Structure 1
Amino acid sequence: MPESFHDDIDATARHWFIRQQGRALSAEEQRALTDWLAASPDHRTAWTRAEEDWQSLDRFRTDLSSELNKARHYRPRHHSSRYLKWAAAALVLIALPILYRASTGIPRHWQTATGERQHVTLADGSQLSLDTATRVTITQSWFQRLIQLQEGEIYLEVAPDWRPLQVTAADTRIRDIGTRFSVRDTPEKFTVQVEEGAVEIIRRDKHLVLHAGETVTRHPATDRWQLATVQGDIANWRQGILVFDQHRLPEVLQELARYHAVRFDLADPALGRKQISGRFRLDELDTTLRIIAETLNLNIEHPTPDRYLLSAAQKQ
């Protein structure tokens, strides 16, 4: 089994165990924990590891107390300091790895190939969807929840938690304020769209808060930010469709290429002014191209497996 999978299970086990130590679980939380433990023997094993880590600290605290008592009653005063130093050093050696793992978290890496989409349930219960050609690193610790988007697009339904959740992408931090939102970082543009709640965006001298139904886009070529209202649903790729509303043809073709690893060329640059609207299924490229050709009166040639050439159709 991959190491990263174990890391996620261990993080979930520690999350539940620490929560249980801090307060009594609600009936709903107890049911969720019971269901999680029953879902896989690996979950029960991870829970046992978390218990053993905690118990090892308890045992050592008991041993330390015993040794300190011995030092006080049976050793001269100048030896007491030696025992105290030994005990403190041993406690640090035992506790440090446990505390370090819990405080910093263990990074996990997820990646989708061209045309692939993936859904992940995080240790805190948040739901993360990855679009085509997307790479992320996820780190959850006692103190924070961090998602680093290296490229591609993600959609997040953030679970309530006292720890802040942040997404970093393109030198920008996006801080969740209880929400559902998407982040896209591709060579063409950087975009944040909010479906519910709000997010705070921080980048050097830029600081703004996006609310539900708002989107902001930054084009790397100009570094200009454009605030707008979301039209329709966001992250439609989760349902396997792309939606265009009066989008220029090059932009439509560029988006299709992200999912199919093909290249589109226009025989005449003037065709780039044409616009297209519609809903198209991601897994039906031939059908999508046929509709585009009929709508815009184009010819589409397929000279090589990874290349399409679009040209104006000859008038009859």
Structure 2
Amino acid sequence: MSDQPANLREQALEEAALWFASLQDEQVSEQERQAWQKWLAESVWHREAWAKVEQIDREFHQLPTQRSFQALQSAGRSRRQFLYGLAGAAVALPFAWHQRDILQAAWTPGTLHQTAVGERRQLALADGSQLWLNTNTLITVDERAARRQLFLLHGELYLQSAPETQALRINTDYGSVDMMNTELNIRLGNNSAHLAVTTGEARVQLAQDTTPVTVAKKESLAFNQTRSVLTEGISANDEAWRKGYLVAENMRLEDFLKALGRYHSQGWLKCSDAVANLRLIGHYPIADTRKVLDTLAQSLPVKVRHITPWFTLIEDNRNISHS
């Protein structure tokens, strides 16, 4: 039913995934099974979504474990990406997007550097500048050109330029960032980039706009190819990841899991609606996401269930029910 609204299709797929998770529990009640049958009978969209969830589960079980993990690693962790994966391309598209990035890197000048999901690396450039790569990041570095350039193709980096060095440019699909005697963090999203300047200033040139934007110390800029939004202040997480932490400042559990999911190499993290608005405060080590999940189970009224090798569900441990 290709003409159905995308948001309704997405909602049906999410509900199907949650029902699938609940029915894997050995303690699932007969009332829950009846509620699932009622949900299934309510709409043809529900039945189509359920069939697709079962199909993806079969496909992941047919893949060797390492390949199934790699498929999810390459896909990214956004809710929309995963749900569209459930719609029939969860196995094929991740490899296609990963190959696209690698192919783009092959045609981009410079030396290739990359990190896997959950991995972070620190590099030193020829002039002494320090470069950190966050999880699941792909860049090339070209220091032979008249203007030194980095190409950020995927992920996130933090760059601390050495003093008294020539200007350096960071290129992205959304535009370029020129910097000198500057520290900054830049992260690519699905449809935009986010820049945070810690020290000094940077100048951003959007890909389809001739007017440059100057970003000063402790300012942030969200931008795509045609528009930008400048704000005062930077997020603690623009710097904390270099030290190995994810900072939660009264963060919703659902938002926290999306952020943590970037470092989780063992599939998709999801919470039920009943616990999505629980709040977290603290510093959480990103090197061991399993340990973080265990901490959540100890500090919040939630239960962590590893449904399959690629799906972990966090839900209310006081009343696990869809009724």
Scaled by the length of structure 1, the TM-score of the pair is 0.60
The residue aligned with 2:271 is 266
Identity %: 26
After TM superposition, give the deviation of residue 131 of structure 1 in Å.
0.7
The residue aligned with 1:181 is 184
- Choose between structure 1 and 2: higher helix proportion: 1
The residue aligned with 1:292 is 296
The residue aligned with 2:198 is 195
Rg (Cα) greater in structure = 1
After TM superposition, give the deviation of residue 219 of structure 1 in Å.
7.8
Aligned in 2, Cα 1:223/1:252: closer, same or farther, shift over 3 Å? farther
The residue aligned with 2:149 is 146
How many residue pairs get aligned? The number is 210
Contact 1:302 1:308 in 2 (8 A): yes
**RMSD, aligned CA:** 2.8
The residue aligned with 1:307 is 311
After TM superposition, give the deviation of residue 272 of structure 1 in Å.
2.9
**1:271 counterpart letter in structure 2:** V
Contact 1:297 1:312 in 2 (8 A): yes
The residue aligned with 2:219 is 214
After TM superposition, give the deviation of residue 286 of structure 1 in Å.
2.9
SS of corresponding position for 2:155: strand
The residue aligned with 1:120 is 123
Q: Distance in 1 between the 2:300 and 2:212 partners? A: 41
**2:212 counterpart letter in structure 1:** H
**1:238 counterpart letter in structure 2:** R
Scaled by the length of structure 2, the TM-score of the pair is 0.58
Q: Distance in 1 between the 2:300 and 2:109 partners? A: 51
Contact 2:118 2:263 in 1 (8 A): yes
Q: Distance in 2 between the 1:136 and 1:231 partners? A: 23
Contact 2:263 2:289 in 1 (8 A): no
Q: Distance in 2 between the 1:253 and 1:189 partners? A: 21
After TM superposition, give the deviation of residue 280 of structure 1 in Å.
0.3
The residue aligned with 2:241 is 237
Question: Are residues 1:156 and 2:159 paired?
Answer: yes
Q: Which has the higher contact order (CA 8 A, sep 6+)?
A: 2
**1:207 counterpart letter in structure 2:** P
Q: Distance in 2 between the 1:161 and 1:143 partners? A: 17
The residue aligned with 2:89 is none
Question: Are residues 1:281 and 2:285 paired?
Answer: yes
Q: Distance in 1 between the 2:307 and 2:169 partners? A: 45
Contact 2:237 2:246 in 1 (8 A): no
Cα deviations by residue, 1:196-246 (Å, 9 ceiling, x for unpaired): 1111111133632112212223489x9663523124473212111111212
